Structure 1
Amino acid sequence: MAFILDQTKSIANHFLAELRDAQIQQDSMRFRRNMERLGEIFAYEISKTMRFTEREFETSLGTASVQVMNELPVLATILRAGLPLHQGLLNYFDRADSAFISAYRKTTKGHNFIIKIEYISAPSLDDKILVVADPMIATGESMVLCCKELLAQYKIKELHIVGVIACKVGIEHIKANLPKAKLWIGSVDEELTTKSYIVPGLGDAGDLSFGVKE
């Protein structure tokens, strides 16, 4: 299953447009906020797939029957670029536990790269719904490696993957390697450069959010 946000006309398209706009990108605070807004929208959409139970609540004037979620997901993100997107998800799933993954591209002598995971900080994910967020899904290798590491350690009940901009190649790689995962994507681009950057994409989401790294 793959849900593509920009296939439906909504205010989300406006946030996606601002994230891509090179002029607006110069305002890092606005860039982070737009990532956060999209995280909130994804949280709302993901919540529609979750299980609910009707409960009664006392108001000052009577009793109201309300459908409430049976459980909260655990929210995970890949540092550092995923932090604003993670915050948006957390704004809505505001009592959810969080997990953090440190992973990076290590370039080899042949100018290829491998994905290295430095550490994972997570609560128990056994029998949990897990939402893993990363703004950019290029080849999909980082996401697949991180999710497989978590799946090897825990018996995860349900896996959701969130990405703001994804390349078609990356989506297919995730589907092939994590067939049970549900994908939530903002927009899909066709092209990937030889260095595995998405075109037109939006650039380096981590640098645009927090400043250029050395």
Structure 2
Amino acid sequence: MKKTLLICFCVVGFCLQAQTYSEKDFKQTVAQVNTAKTESEYETIFQKFSTFTSSKPSEKWEAYYYAALSAYLKAELQLKKTPSADVSNVSALAGKYAKGGLSDSKSNNAESDILFGLIALQKAQIKGAKDVKSNMDIASQMIAKAEAVTPENPRLAILKAKLAEMSGNKESAEKLFKKALTGLETKSTSSSAPSWGRQLIPSMN
């Protein structure tokens, strides 16, 4: 009996340790989003979050969200290097994971909507894109949804800046990027709130 109990305690202890390690690994991977500089780094981060979508025991939307984000940022980096690059497959992958996160009832809808809007603008930016207007309309819809919930969100300011930029309003875009940077420099009261965004501000790159 004592031997059986000992085995049970060992198994429970091992499971708790594994869960703690998984959460620690998840948080470390989230932090890597802000330090990644290369396509291969974003790809590695994406692969980790892709795995987390099935292994994370709760708040699965976060895994989908960051998987979508890492794919989106990888495509953004490719476009920055080569504006004519065909990133349609990577952008579509980002959209797929973003939708996966939105299906979770516990998702942070404002942050997910903002990311979905950014992905839509990215798709509109791809050379030869045929659905530019519809994707810009999607971005506008996501702005309206997020603004109703979190109007001072710095990533919302980035989305609005990118839409203004694509619409030819460079002055408005510049002001919005500055607003976003100010917002990102203010530490959020929520430890789980996303902190990325500087990668998309021209003055920071």
* TM more than 0.5: no
More helix by share: 2
Higher relative contact order (CA 8 A, sep 6+): 1
The structure that is strand-richer by fraction is 1
The normalised TM-score by structure 1 is 0.29
